[in-house]
């Protein structure tokens, strides 16, 4: 299991080299990318986090996923700081013998990352800077696990 919290970019390809290991037939990745807003005037997304808590919160989520599903490997990377449209924000990867476990564990990781990891996004446009509101559906998504 690897959990990385960083301001620098990450390289999906480099992270996936050797990921999974022997006997794992299924690898799922999720990559989150800064997307422009509906008005198309996003300058950057500013991501604040709680340094003392972030690593342990992500590790706890990854550990929980490993306990619930049969996983050969788990990777979580989450960036903070100022990210421009098109930049990668975060990724998770899961490896398992079967695709069902790999998919479910990746979705679980994403649902918990959204609402239980101490990150806050601020949307910076030319004229404004607004904190992104949590979405009810993200909180509701936890109910399925």
Partner 1 sequence: MDVLYFAWVRERIGLPREKVETDATTVAELVAELRRREERYEVAFADLSALRVAIDQELTDFDAPISGAREVAFFPPMTGG
Name the residues that contact partner 1, by CB under 8 A.
32, 48-50, 52-53, 56-57, 78, 89-90, 99, 110, 113-122, 131-134, 138-139
User: With the CA atoms of 6, 11, 13 and 18 taken in that order, what torsion angle do they form, in degrees rounded to the nearest 10?
Assistant: -30
24 binds a copy of itself (CB under 8 A): yes
99 binds a copy of itself (CB under 8 A): yes
- DSSP state for residue 40 in the 8-state scheme: S
At which residue do the structure tokens 């998919």 appear?
A: 103
From the list a copy of itself, partner 1, none, which binds 90 (C-beta under 5 to 8 Å, kind-based)?
partner 1
CB of 66 vs a copy of itself, minimal distance in Å: 19
From the list partner 1, a copy of itself, none, which binds 120 (C-beta under 5 to 8 Å, kind-based)?
partner 1
43 binds a copy of itself (CB under 8 A): no
From the list partner 1, a copy of itself, none, which binds 132 (C-beta under 5 to 8 Å, kind-based)?
partner 1
CB of 110 vs partner 1, minimal distance in Å: 6
- Provide DSSP, 6-19: ESS---HHHHHTT-
x-or-dash pattern for a copy of itself, window 63-82, by CB under 8 A? Answer: --------------------
Q: How far apart (Å, rounded) are the C-alpha atoms in residues 123 and 129? A: 5
At which residue do the structure tokens 């998770």 appear?
A: 92
- In the structure encoding, which two tokens stand for residue 49, read together? 């986090």
* 64, HSE (Cβ side, Cα atoms, 13 Å): 17
- CB under 8 A: which stretch of 50-58, 59-67, 73-81, 105-113 binds a copy of itself? 105-113
Q: How far apart (Å, rounded) are the C-alpha atoms in residues 39 and 90? A: 23
């Amino acid at each position: 299991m690897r959990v990385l919290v960083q301001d620098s970019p990450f390289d999906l390809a480099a992270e996936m080299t050797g990921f999974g290991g022997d006997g794992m037939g299924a690898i799922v990745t999720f990559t989150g990318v800064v997307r422009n807003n509906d008005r198309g005037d996003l300058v950057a997304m500013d991501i604040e986090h709680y340094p003392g808590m972030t690593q342990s919160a992500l590790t706890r989520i990854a550990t929980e996923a490993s306990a619930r599903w049969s996983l050969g490997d788990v990777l979580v990377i989450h960036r903070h700081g100022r990210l421009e449209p098109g930049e990668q924000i975060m990724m998770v990867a899961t490896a398992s013998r079967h695709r069902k476990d790999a998919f479910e564990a990746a979705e679980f990781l994403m649902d918990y990352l959204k609402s239980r990891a101490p990150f806050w996004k601020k949307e910076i446009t030319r004229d404004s800077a607004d904190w992104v509101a949590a979405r009810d559906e993200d909180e509701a998504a936890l109910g399925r696990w």
